[in-house]
Structure 1
């Protein structure tokens, strides 16, 4: 059965239940029966403890190395560890760790603000909209308001010689721009906390953000020469941003983009717009479970260790209902992203007519 996209409201009539819609209920029952929605707190305690030990060792390294350009290795290690801890914040934000919603929220808030320098309140509203409308034009924040045009409609709106030229080459610019992702996340977070009228727990997030964004520069400029301190901060932020961006990009970039008024059932929408990355348990660690993106979008509160077991069940349902299930290697996904963005960029400066042209695959 092939899912369809419609943009007109159907006439009132008695309609039989959509088998694809029913299948998600069946899929959810199968996953629950297999015990795949049970919490794995012990796993997360082990991961968190290991990362804290590595972070402690890294700061000991900072103190021991002293005035040396080898400090840039310490900066890179800090960028990697901050990203790994951010993966835990992401999982807590999805209620994957604890049974208590409150415990998950506070774990995510404290990790996001103190480690990544990111507002959890900002991330929660942004990421929630993404999960509800993945790759949907004007509804998914992850494909809006970006230097990169992720769909033809946005690309066609880029006017001016320089803007059009850069957009046409945007596939090659995508990965260099990831070096700025960390800085962008922190700037957007600060703007959100200061400018939004209502921010949940503003007076918890604000002081932690101020301390987090001040302490690293303070340590760098206090113990390192001026040029080395700037290099240290730049490397840490660049590695953090690149690792974060390169981990999230394979999930949806280069997958079908849906028109604003499209109506696709939940199962089809989440599977069609998501891409899994092969590589087994190593990739589970490297990408913090984001490599199981299809399963994560279908069951956002599923703990990371359970996702690989859910994958076989999801594949079986997708085969049964004719829904394309996409999985590639990490390097293949990056090649797909570059080609896709360059293809989208070719529309820069052209007059855009039909939103349906943004659907990159035929369903």
Structure 2
């Protein structure tokens, strides 16, 4: 029987996912017995010898009241956790936890974390109770069969080793980037810095920068190396040293986008005001308040003139620097400084200090439309809404779309043409997206979710069509 058929019939292989935390607490306080690590190992093997204590039972009505920044509870595998104090220590940023406060976070928790054994150690002190026996595992507005089918799909993909990254694959991409950087320098050394040579150098560096964007995106999500500290350092190297942007800034911003894509106001990627109004909610809000910073009726033209060329050298670059300075990310600042120092050493003798700075920003200017199209074509045309507390599968599929696969499309987008699979499984290495796409498509068909897959040029055009549609909504609200 094919895997697609197994999924349709609800018989995809795999075992029931173990609870993420089995160690109880009394009165909501962590048990300090000095045996957390050993206990975790026994639980991971399904052989816990620690007697269970009774946990306080909560209803969904009680849990949903704790959804404020100063009072955050969430549910993972029927266990209730108070993450209020932990939120500001969370490596992914405090807003990610706040976005799921008062909700079931089982699937998003599993999606965003690779090493559950480590995470369990942090969860144990936060455990305060569990769902009451009569309560469903998810909120009552969610389809339990859809949730179970998705979790079954994940177990199947884990059994197929679809989450195992191949370091050689990513090493080749890093080699591509470094070869382009070296080639640009060799061209200058051999031919001098004439206009034709400068154009060629700018082209080589632009390709290198764009591919660096995709590689740092991979490393930011994956543990390519066995020791996470090496993955952490490699992310700093690629994002900060090769691109000149803050890795911490990217993490905190990008993870918010992943957990609540296209949800106002939780996804920072769709808050482009006052320059652009996206979806249905923002245009109505601005229109009714008679806000007109620019003529939004022509925002699709501003997208060509400002959005495409200035996303990287303007918005992202300035925001990254601001966040690094205000939050004192000293390691990021050191790595980003090395980006500029390397360019001055490599190209300073050819162009001087001012010319080298100009070269850096010309390359960012040329890279910007590439990255803008790739990152926006799968989200701007899709559904945008306020919080609806949907299940993980529906949340991601409604907010993302795929671009048809080809060798060029895979390379040009860094495999982000498989946005649906990437959003459902952020820690899955990109070389496996095409393998799991048929299973995801089958699951969507089973539950009546539209799996959107379109040609790349159509996707580019849909960005403009979406901007025009939002502009029309603003006009109606503004002049009503």
Please tell me the TM-score bracket, short chain as reference.
0.7 to 0.9
| Displacement after TM superposition at 1:134 (Å) | 0.2
Q: 2:220 aligns with which of 82, 87, 93?
A: 93
Q: Distance in 2 between matches of 1:54 and 1:91?
A: 19
| Displacement after TM superposition at 1:285 (Å) | 1.4
Structure 2: unaligned runs, 5 residues or longer: 1-101, 103-131
Q: Distance in 1 between matches of 2:358 and 2:322?
A: 25
Matching residue of 1:82: 209
Q: State the TM-score, normalized to the length of structure 1.
A: 0.85
Q: Distance in 2 between matches of 1:234 and 1:217?
A: 13
Q: Distance in 2 between matches of 1:225 and 1:347?
A: 50
Q: Distance in 2 between matches of 1:305 and 1:39?
A: 8
Matching residue of 1:60: 186
Q: Contact (CA 8 Å) 2:262, 2:385: kept in 1 or not? A: yes
Matches within 5 A, 1:350-361: 351=477
| Displacement after TM superposition at 1:41 (Å) | 1.0
Matching residue of 1:175: 304
Matching residue of 1:193: 324
Matches within 5 A, 1:71-220: 71-95=198-222, 97-146=224-273, 147-156=275-284, 157=286, 163-165=293-295, 167-176=296-305, 177-183=307-313, 184-196=315-327, 202-213=329-340, 215-216=342-343
Matching residue of 1:3: none
Q: State the TM-score, normalized to the length of structure 2.
A: 0.65
Q: Contact (CA 8 Å) 2:180, 2:205: kept in 1 or not? A: no
More strand by share: 2
Q: Distance in 1 between matches of 2:269 and 2:342?
A: 29
* 1:73-117 CA-partner distances (Å, limit 9, x unpaired): 211220121110121111010015334332222211211001111
Matches within 5 A, 1:232-251: 232-251=359-378
Q: Against the structure 1 CA distance between its residues 138 and 161, is the aligned structure 2 distance closer, same or farther, given a 3 Å change threshold?
A: closer
141-150 or 343-352: bigger deviation: 343-352
Counterpart secondary structure, 1:163: coil
Matching residue of 1:288: 414
Q: Distance in 2 between matches of 1:317 and 1:107?
A: 35
| Displacement after TM superposition at 1:259 (Å) | 1.2
Q: Contact (CA 8 Å) 2:382, 2:398: kept in 1 or not? A: yes
Counterpart secondary structure, 1:169: helix
Matching residue of 2:446: 320
Structure 1: unaligned runs, 5 residues or longer: 1-8, 353-363
Tell me the number of residue pairs that the alignment of Structure 1 and Structure 2 aligns. 340
122-131 or 183-192: bigger deviation: 183-192
Q: Against the structure 1 CA distance between its residues 323 and 223, is the aligned structure 2 distance closer, same or farther, given a 3 Å change threshold?
A: same
* 1:289-332 CA-partner distances (Å, limit 9, x unpaired): 11111000111111111111011111111111111101111100
Q: Distance in 2 between matches of 1:270 and 1:235?
A: 35
Q: Contact (CA 8 Å) 1:84, 1:288: kept in 2 or not? A: yes
Who wins on radius of gyration, i.e. which is larger? 2
- Is 1:338 aligned to residue 468 of structure 2? no
Q: Against the structure 1 CA distance between its residues 103 and 228, is the aligned structure 2 distance closer, same or farther, given a 3 Å change threshold?
A: closer
Matching residue of 1:309: 435
Q: Contact (CA 8 Å) 1:75, 1:235: kept in 2 or not? A: yes
Q: Distance in 2 between matches of 1:160 and 1:67?
A: 52
Q: Contact (CA 8 Å) 1:168, 1:347: kept in 2 or not? A: no
| Displacement after TM superposition at 1:239 (Å) | 1.4
Q: Contact (CA 8 Å) 1:109, 1:205: kept in 2 or not? A: yes
- Is 1:23 aligned to residue 154 of structure 2? no
Counterpart secondary structure, 1:186: helix
